[in-house]
């Protein structure tokens, strides 16, 4: 659900602005694990993912010339990089 539906939808949305969205596999694993703890199903996947994507998206859309947003794990936390 996450990789095929949710991530594909957000990748397409960012692509409309010519921004590549890259999500590391370890981030996907973390989102799935956090969602499973909530035991609320697929809706929890989107809510959990959006918690990490929201600030990063605001920043990338506010950065002139940004063409790539990457979500990765750093020091056990989900972080983002913009280039």
Chain-centroid distance of CA 41 in Å reads 18
Buried b (16+ CB within 10 A) or exposed e, 30-53: bbbebbeeeeeeeebbbebbeebb
Looking at residues 27-31, what average pLDDT do you find? 93
35: helix, coil or strand? helix
Distance CA 22, CA 15 (A): 11
Arithmetic mean of pLDDT over the chain:
92
Report the predicted TM-score, pTM, of the whole model to 2 decimal places: 0.89
Distance of CA 74 to the CA centre of its chain: 14
pLDDT score of 83: 96
Give the pLDDT score at 37.
Answer: 87
Q: What is the pLDDT of residue 56?
A: 96
| The pLDDT of residue 60 is above 90 | yes
pLDDT at 41 over 80: no
- Higher-confidence position of 44 and 64: 64
pLDDT in the model for residue 1: 53
């Amino acid at each position: 659900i996450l990789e095929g539906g949710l991530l594909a939808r957000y990748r397409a949305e960012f692509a409309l602005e010519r921004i590549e969205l890259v999500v590391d596999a370890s981030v996907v694993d973390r989102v799935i694990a956090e969602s499973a703890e909530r035991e609320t199903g697929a809706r929890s996947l989107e809510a959990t993912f959006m918690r990490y994507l929201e600030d990063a998206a605001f920043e990338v859309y506010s950065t002139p010339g940004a063409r790539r947003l990457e979500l990765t794990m750093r020091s056990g936390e989900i972080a983002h990089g913009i280039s």
